[in-house]
Amino acid sequence: MKPNVVFTIPAQDGSSTEERPALPPSFPYAFGRFDKIPSVTVNDLAPDILIRRFSDRSIKNPGMELARVLDLQGRLVLWHATLGTPWGYFLFRALQTQSRIIQNGLLRVVSLDPQLTVRLPLMSWYETDLKNSGRDSKEDLEKSQAIQTLVKTLKTWDAFELAIGVLVGYKQARIKDLASPLKALSKWLGAEKDFILDIGREGERPACPMVAGNPMGLGSMLGGLARVCIQSTTFDLESKGIKLPSAAIYKASAGEAASLTLFKWGLEQGPARAKEHYPSFMAALWLSLWTPLHPRFAPSRKRADWLSLHPGYRLSRLAEVIQSQKIFLRSFDPSDIHSFWDQLCAILDWPTPRAMARNVMSLASQDALDERFRVACQVQDKNPAALLRPGLDPVLTAPLLPYLIRMHHAADDESDSALWFAIEAELYAISYALLFSPTPPTTAIPISNEEMDLIGTPEELARNYFGLRLS
């Protein structure tokens, strides 16, 4: 089904392309909607440029300039982690699947009963109205094949939402409660064999660990990664004798501090504290994101216990091994990083990132996400530090930039890819709105200075996308 969208680019206002803010596409949970991003380029993050820039005592507001530069660096490391690791690949494909479940399920519903009228939001009807209906009403509903299809659609979506919510950290469950949803989701993602989650005696454990009162979901983990990336850059500047008004930059939120607390190294403090542990933390957290959850990595999967698959538990186990075995990463040299990962994976019986990447680099591109992920694997194989510290090698990571930073006009080679990401984001947003909001969105601006219009009123939108009549 072709998305009922038009993509418009307004007339140029005379400003140069380089002055545009750099906004990544909006996809729920992965990177959200960004606003007020300053006009800072990736080349501004290069270490030699940073040193020259902040050695200049004529800068009127060095604190503000530093905040702008480090803000972009933090956002880019999250971009790399989101669309350049197996976790990000799994999450994006899983969210696509949820969107398709709603679209395809509701189209089936209306084909079974063109006269059916449903009330929005759907989850409120499913969780409250349907369950609270009288016996006679339930019996009538059970006779309706369309209603049965709708209920099955919502149950499937809800099951997958549990699995994804636990990974991200906004839902809690026991490990054994995820066995069935993950098996079903794996089939939807193209698994050739059943995914059997090995729960053993761990089944009663929380599926998402809590650290310092915060869920070790991906929000806190990626926040910790961005925080230490920023602190490491700031320390490098200060080690060159550059004094910076940076106190506010070091303060981590409670969620971010949760992942840092695992290492008990004082990383949530200023950059002068435990600076020798920055490389170890960043590389360990990155390794935790190389989880073989997606069926694509089934051939390299050695273990199927949840503690080896959930990034939060993976980071917890890495922290224990690093501290007990005294395995530290002393530099960001590519060979040192790969050796660090190989040692840890051997101890934990995990596939190494290089072994998993072979499943990606050898495949022909199927769509924009596959191609971008394949290129990210190639970059990581050559120099993983370039992904962990954006700006370290801008030439190497240039193909991995958010498409919208590189897209200058509609005729650019990457414009179709940018539109593809944007449409995926908005289709998911529409599905989510139908589930939880009585007023689905009619317009969205997913990227800077370009507008995607979702044609029609909420009623027309629901009909055109899903064939629904709203009451």
- Mean pLDDT over residues 411-420, rounded? 42
pLDDT higher than 50, residue 372: yes
Q: Give the pLDDT score at 274.
A: 74
Helix 179-188 to helix 145-168 angle (10° resolution) is 110
Taking CA atoms, 393 is separated from 25, 228, 277, 385, 386, in Å, by 23, 18, 22, 9, 5
174 DSSP 8-state letter: B
The secondary structure of 261-299 as a DSSP string is HTTTS-TTS-TTSSGGGHHHHHHHHHHHT--TTSGGGGG
- pLDDT digits over 294-314, tens only? 998 988 888 889 999 999 999
* Separation of alpha carbons 221 and 281, rounded Å: 11
* Separation of alpha carbons 177 and 189, rounded Å: 19
The answer to whether the beta carbons of residues 118 and 150 sit under 8 Å apart is: yes
Mean pLDDT in the chain? 75
* Separation of alpha carbons 200 and 57, rounded Å: 61
- pLDDT digits over 189-223, tens only? 999 888 888 888 889 999 999 988 888 988 788 88
pLDDT higher than 50, residue 403: no
Q: In the structure encoding, which two tokens stand for residue 92, read together?
A: 């994006």
- pLDDT digits over 219-243, tens only? 788 888 988 998 888 888 888 888 7
Is the model more confident about 158 or about 142?
Answer: 158
- pLDDT digits over 124-144, tens only? 777 776 665 544 455 555 558
* Separation of alpha carbons 315 and 10, rounded Å: 45
Q: Give the pLDDT score at 396.
A: 92
pLDDT band at 432 (very low <50, low <70, confident <90, very high): low
pLDDT higher than 80, residue 406: no
- Mean pLDDT over residues 4-30, rounded? 31
155-164, 354-363, 364-373, 395-404 — which one is most confidently predicted on average?
Answer: 155-164
Q: What is the dihedral of CA 381, 384, 386, 388, to 10 degrees?
A: 150
Cα within 13 Å of Cα(424), Cβ side: 22
Partner residues linked to 7 by β-bridges: 452
pLDDT higher than 70, residue 416: no
Backbone phi and psi for residue 38, each to the nearest 5 degrees, phi listed first:
-70, 160
The H or E element that residue 460 is part of is helix 458-466
Domain ranges of the chain: 28-388
- pLDDT digits over 254-274, tens only? 778 888 888 888 787 766 567
- Mean pLDDT over residues 50-75, rounded? 79
Tracing tokens 């040192």 back to the chain, one arrives at 336
- Mean pLDDT over residues 265-292, rounded? 85
